[in-house]
Amino acid sequence: MENNLNIIHIDMDAFFASVEQLDKPELEGKAVIVGGVGLDNRGVVSTASYEARKFGVHSAMPIAKAKKLCPHAVYLPGRRERYTELSSQIFNILLKFTPQVEKLSIDEAFLNVKGCHRLYGSSKEIGKQIKKKIKDETGLVCSIGVARNKFLAKIGSDLDKPDGLVIIKNNEIAEVLDPLSVDKIPGVGTKTANKLNEIGIYKIGQLKNMEYNELKHLFGKNGSLLYELIRGIDKREVNINSETKSISNETTFQNDTSDLDLLLKYLLELSQKVTRRVRKKNLIGNTIFIKVKDNKFNVTTRRITIKKYINSTDDLYKYGKKLLEKVDLKNPIRLIGIGIASLKEKKKEQLSLFTNSKDKSEFNIVIDSIKDKFGNESIKRARDLLKEDKNN
């Protein structure tokens, strides 16, 4: 084993669906789809078990389409608290092997195990031990990739799912990468993949034949990055101080709507949910963004970065409303979302003698505490009542 294969990528297999199968043994071996079931066919798939994936179901697919492909599947709403509980267990296991853990999401992480080999053996052995410990302590399985950098490790973890362990040695990089479809490159979405397919490029090996300037011309700065990645070059470090980059919420309507008033009511409700989560983490942010999806499934996003950092509902809603007013609402809307990014920890600030900004902050804290104690529906703003009236 080469001594510089120190980066491990761990990805829990079909995490949400696997948790449901774990907690409900009668679902083992069955097609399980977790998503926005409360909205009937209007929601999207969060996670599909491997039994469901055989029928072409995948994350972010509309539930309506999933039901056509896999009508016999068990459809379940998500249980965020349960997933978070198991995620915490998993990350505590990872931290026993190395303090250098970069959390990417609730079910995915990078580890740098340099300096850990005397205690735990080779990177491959560490991967095996991690898989066993997670299985023994949680009952869940994961897939792991081991390589010299983050890009290759992530590619590796995806090559033998579920329950895989793939080592990509330095002298095997081209052999592993070249036959892969271009859409296997992390960060290359459908749009980029289609653009490459249109010029006859389907595999990474074909993409390597393109000159640096060609890629840069086609994809700008992402072309430069692409040129390096497909050659196994990735200079990113494992960032142990990675923090929450953004917090957002979205909702899919039961009926498509062009009613701006109604859209604004939902925008306020979502702003309340987002800022409550932001305040719970003691964060503030200065980039506000919205997402709108129409009945043709066209997605429009808008964002703005402001000078001050915020975490109040009123502020988020105010900027979200301005962004929504810039969106062309020619088609009825099926989904709306809002979020806040560029987050940082909120530090104690000296109170101003000349403003009463404290009042808004205390108001939000009181609202949060009431909802924590009595539930989300325990207290509402007048605008929320107007939304209910519209729906009746």
The band of 350, judged by pLDDT with boundaries at 50, 70 and 90, is: very low
Q: How far apart are CA 134 and CA 255, in angstroms?
A: 42
Which of 112, 134, 166 lies at the terminal end of a domain, its last residue? 166
Candidates 157, 164, 184, 179; CA nearest to 7 is 157
136 & 207 share domain: no
Q: How far apart are CA 109 and CA 103, in angstroms?
A: 5
207 & 161 share domain: no
272 & 361 share domain: yes
Q: How far apart are CA 318 and CA 325, in angstroms?
A: 11
Is the peptide bond preceding residue 77 cis, with omega within 30 degrees of 0? no
Residue 241 lies in a domain: no
Residue with tokens 């850990």: 116
Q: Find the CATH number of the domain harbouring 369.
A: 3.30.1490.100
Which has more confidence, 38 or 214?
A: 214
List pLDDT tens digits, range 315-329.
999 999 999 999 988
The band of 162, judged by pLDDT with boundaries at 50, 70 and 90, is: very high
Whether the predicted pLDDT of 286 surpasses 90: yes
295-303 long-range CB contacts below 8 Å, 24 or more apart? Answer: 295/256, 295/331, 295/332, 295/333, 295/334, 296/331, 297/62, 297/334, 298/331, 300/327, 300/328, 302/326, 302/327, 303/341
Residue 205, amino acid: G
Residue 169 carries which DSSP code? -
Residue 223 lies in a domain: yes
What b-and-e string marks burial along 122-152, b requiring 16 or more CB atoms within 10 Å of the CB?
Answer: bbbebbeebbeebeeebebbbbbbbbbbbbb
Per-residue pLDDT, 375: 56
162 & 265 share domain: no
The band of 239, judged by pLDDT with boundaries at 50, 70 and 90, is: confident
Token digits of residue 287: 């980039």
CB 34 within 8 A of CB 14: no
Per-residue pLDDT, 186: 85
Q: What is the percentage of the chain residues whose pLDDT exceeds 70? A: 85
Return the SS3 of 375: coil
139 & 218 share domain: no
Q: How far apart are CA 123 and CA 102, in angstroms?
A: 17
Whether the predicted pLDDT of 47 surpasses 80: yes
255 & 378 share domain: yes
Residue 235 lies in a domain: no
Return the SS3 of 355: coil
What is the mean predicted confidence (pLDDT) over 226-234?
94
The band of 187, judged by pLDDT with boundaries at 50, 70 and 90, is: confident
Return the SS3 of 249: strand
Residue 248, strand partner residues: 339
pTM metric for this prediction: 0.74
315 & 208 share domain: no
**378 to 80, 360, 369: CA distances (angstroms):** 21, 20, 11
Whether the predicted pLDDT of 353 surpasses 90: no
Per-residue pLDDT, 352: 45
30 & 101 share domain: yes
List pLDDT tens digits, range 69-116.
999 999 999 998 999 999 999 999 999 999 999 999 899 999 999 999
Residue 172 lies in a domain: no
Q: How far apart are CA 304 and CA 137, in angstroms?
A: 44
Give the chain's largest Cα–Cα span. 67
CB 79 within 8 A of CB 17: no
| Size (the chain), residues | 392
DSSP of 22-52? HH-GGGTTS-EEEE-GGGGGGSBEEEE-HHH
**84 to 40, 171, 344, 358: CA distances (angstroms):** 25, 39, 22, 32
Q: How far apart are CA 333 and CA 42, in angstroms?
A: 12
Per-residue pLDDT, 114: 94
Which of 137, 166, 195 lies at the terminal end of a domain, its last residue? 166
Per-residue pLDDT, 379: 55
Q: What is the chain's Cα-based Rg?
A: 23
Return the SS3 of 367: helix
Whether the predicted pLDDT of 14 surpasses 60: yes
Q: Find the CATH number of the domain harbouring 197.
A: 1.10.150.20
214 & 336 share domain: no
CB 321 within 8 A of CB 264: yes
Per-residue pLDDT, 378: 52
Whether the predicted pLDDT of 389 surpasses 80: no
Q: Which distant-in-sequence residues (6+ apart) come within 8 Å of 383 by Cβ?
A: 264, 265, 268
Per-residue pLDDT, 297: 85
Which of 143, 166, 189 lies at the terminal end of a domain, its last residue? 166
Q: Known catalytic residues?
A: 108
What is the mean predicted confidence (pLDDT) over 246-250?
91
Whether the predicted pLDDT of 354 surpasses 50: no
- Give the number of domains in the chain: 3
317 & 269 share domain: yes
Residue 283, strand partner residues: 345
Strand segments, DSSP code E, in 313-370 are 333-345
The band of 376, judged by pLDDT with boundaries at 50, 70 and 90, is: low
Residue 145 lies in a domain: yes
Q: Find the CATH number of the domain harbouring 144.
A: 3.30.70.270
Residue 33 lies in a domain: yes
33 & 59 share domain: yes
The pLDDT mean for the chain works out to: 88
Burial class (CB in 10 A: 0-12, 13-18, 19+), 199: exposed
Q: Residue 279 CA to chain centroid, in angstroms?
A: 20
Choice among 37-51, 177-191, 342-356 with the minimum mean pLDDT: 342-356
Residue 259 lies in a domain: yes
Candidates 166, 176, 145, 125; CA nearest to 8 is 145
Per-residue pLDDT, 62: 87
273 & 159 share domain: no
The band of 31, judged by pLDDT with boundaries at 50, 70 and 90, is: very high
Q: How far apart are CA 46 and CA 36, in angstroms?
A: 8
Residue 265 lies in a domain: yes
Helix (H) or strand (E) holding 108: strand 108-112
- Show the domain range for 339: 246-391
The 10 Å Cβ neighbour count of residue 210 is 19
